[in-house]
């Protein structure tokens, strides 16, 4: 049974889409939170006022130490979200991805160990997995890894760092392999700069805020030829981070430090065309679009097996794609009321 909630938490990459949502969730629990973010791609204006912010890079040990020192005692947990997240960009700048995602995670893990932090949870990705030949298969935590992209490789390297850190026996670590995080909570819209994600691009194209959507390929071995992805509500994702931190704290307290992996998805795959139709239904407008070639690094299908997420962390993700899209549209200010 998971009982003790983390009451002091360091969040890296706190100014991003998941981070700003997670901060609200932690504050709702009464936690004291410190944010670390270099603000190059994040949203300072969406950080809650009561959360102290260290502006710095996770590759900079001084910045991470400075954030850790703001706590009176070692924080209960560090939730490490800082990183670069675009598969396509990673194929153009592989070294940059290795540097930020792999080196950054190593620095955070080393300094959490040094400071005596008992729990470290990182945002990993479904991109670490080797794509399966059968698109009907749902990927569980034992599925073979074998990233297709430099992004996936950099996240896998972060997972290796967390495994090695747990083996030292002083800190438990968790990698949450996020599938396609979507929707919105606390009124915080998904706004990446540049935006590359399907749902906000499709919604904003329909609203006339952005040019027509480029569809990246319709020749994949899927029922309608477009890629299948597992869209998981950001509300469920932040809950997974909180519960994973709690689990890691308990494991360390019990003297049995472990590294654990969870797949954070719904278990249901939707095609790009199905997502576009959901956007059209929610907004009552067509999504203007044009067919493009495949985007480098994209695989035909990535769908989670969420059984471990449910059985160990007690999370049963929202299965309603229309609700995910409606929440996204609402937060983007594209729906009345
Ligand atoms: N996609 C697309 N056009 C876009 C952005 C995304 O067709 O402008 C497709 C992409 O090829 C993938 C799916 O939408 O199959 C989800 O992509 P996204 O970038 O949202 O997330 P990813 O799966 O890359 O993490």
Higher-pLDDT residue of 104, 297? 104
Mean pLDDT of the chain: 95
| SS3 label, residue 119 | strand
Q: Strand runs (DSSP E) across 57-179, as ranges?
A: 77-80, 119-125, 172-178
197 Cβ below 6 A of ligand 1: yes
Both tokens of residue 300?
Answer: 């035909």
Give residue 186 CA to ligand 1 midpoint distance, Å: 24
271 Cβ below 6 A of ligand 1: no
216 Cβ below 6 A of ligand 1: yes
205 Cβ below 6 A of ligand 1: no
**134 has a pLDDT exceeding 70:** no
Nearest to 225 by CA among 178, 130, 281, 293: 293
Query: CA-CA distance, 282 to 182, in Å (whole number)?
Result: 15
178 Cβ below 6 A of ligand 1: no
Ligand 1 pocket: which of 127, 212, 295, 300 to mutate (most atoms within 8 A of CB): 295
Query: CA-CA distance, 310 to 138, in Å (whole number)?
Result: 15
Which residue bears the tokens 């390929």? 217
Q: Strand runs (DSSP E) across the chain, as ranges?
A: 8-12, 32-37, 53-55, 77-80, 119-125, 172-178, 180-182, 213-216, 228-229, 231-233, 259-264, 270-271, 289-292, 301-302
Give residue 293 CA to ligand 1 midpoint distance, Å: 12
Given 3-state DSSP classes, what are the helix, strand and coil percentages for the chain, each rounded to the nearest 5? 40, 20, 40
**175 has a pLDDT exceeding 70:** yes
Average pLDDT score over residue span 79-98: 94
Closest residue by CA, ligand 1 atom 18: 197
Catalytic residue among 151, 186, 231, 270: 151
Which is it for strands 53-55 and 32-37: parallel, antiparallel or unpaired? parallel
* Ligand 1 atom closest to the CA of 179, numbered from 1: 25
**283 has a pLDDT exceeding 90:** yes
295 Cβ below 6 A of ligand 1: yes
**128 has a pLDDT exceeding 50:** yes
Give residue 34 CA to ligand 1 midpoint distance, Å: 32
Decide: pTM greater than 0.95: yes
Ligand 1 pocket: which of 203, 216, 266, 290 to mutate (most atoms within 8 A of CB): 216
| Residue 272 and residue 301 in contact, taking contact as beta carbons nearer than 8 Å | no
Both tokens of residue 318?
Answer: 């929202």
Q: What is the pLDDT of residues 178-216, one digit of tens each?
A: 999 999 999 999 887 788 999 999 999 999 999 999 999
Burial of 40-71, coded b for 16+ CB within 10 Å and e otherwise, reads ebbbeebbeeebebbebbbbeeebbeebbeeb
201 Cβ below 6 A of ligand 1: yes
Give residue 270 CA to ligand 1 midpoint distance, Å: 11
204 Cβ below 6 A of ligand 1: no
Confidence (pLDDT) at 191: 81
Query: CA-CA distance, 178 to 265, in Å (whole number)?
Result: 7
Give residue 284 CA to ligand 1 midpoint distance, Å: 22
17 part of the active site? no
Give residue 197 CA to ligand 1 midpoint distance, Å: 6
Average pLDDT score over residue span 266-288: 98
CA 228 from centroid of its chain's CA atoms: 18
**1 has a pLDDT exceeding 50:** no
Give residue 291 CA to ligand 1 midpoint distance, Å: 13
Closest residue by CA, ligand 1 atom 6: 198
- Domains by residue range for the chain, with CATH: 8-181+231-264 (3.40.50.720), 198-229+267-331 (3.90.25.10)
229 Cβ below 6 A of ligand 1: yes
The percent of residues above 70 in pLDDT, for the chain, comes to: 97
């Amino acid at each position: 049974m998971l009982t003790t909630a983390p009451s002091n938490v360091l969040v890296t990459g706190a100014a991003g889409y998941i981070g700003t949502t997670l901060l609200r969730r932690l504050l709702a629990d009464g936690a004291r939170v410190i944010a670390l973010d270099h603000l190059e791609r994040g949203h300072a204006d969406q950080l809650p006022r009561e959360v102290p912010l260290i502006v710095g890079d996770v590759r900079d040990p001084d910045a991470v130490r400075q954030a850790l020192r703001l706590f009176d005692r070692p924080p209960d947990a560090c939730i490490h979200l800082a990183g670069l997240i675009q598969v396509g960009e990673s194929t153009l700048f592989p070294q940059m991805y290795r540097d930020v995602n792999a080196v950054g995670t190593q620095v955070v893990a080393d300094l959490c160990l040094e400071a005596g932090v008992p729990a470290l949870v990182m945002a990993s990705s479904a991109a670490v997995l080797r794509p399966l030949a059968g698109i009907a298969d749902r990927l569980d935590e034992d599925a073979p890894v074998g990233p297709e992209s430099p992004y996936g490789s950099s996240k896998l390297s972060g997972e290796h760092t967390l495994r090695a850190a747990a083996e030292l026996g002083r800190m438990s670590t968790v990698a949450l392999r996020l599938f396609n995080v979507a929707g919105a909570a606390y009124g915080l819209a998904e706004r990446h700069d540049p935006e590359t994600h399907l749902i906000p691009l499709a919604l904003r194209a329909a609203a006339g805020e952005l040019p027509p959507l480029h569809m990246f390929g319709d020749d994949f071995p899927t029922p309608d030829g477009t890629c299948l992805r597992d869209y998981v509500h950001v509300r469920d994702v932040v809950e997974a981070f909180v519960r994973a931190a709690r689990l890691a704290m308990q494991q360390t307290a019990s003297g049995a430090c472990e590294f654990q992996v969870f797949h954070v998805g719904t278990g249901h795959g939707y095609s790009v065309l199905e997502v576009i139709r959901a956007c059209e239904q929610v907004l009552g407008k067509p999504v203007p679009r044009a067919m493009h070639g495949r985007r480098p690094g994209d695989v035909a299908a990535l769908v989670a097996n969420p059984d471990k997420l449910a059985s160990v962390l007690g999370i049963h993700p929202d299965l309603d794609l229309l609700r995910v899209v409606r929440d996204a549209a609402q937060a983007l200010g594209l729906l009345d009321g």
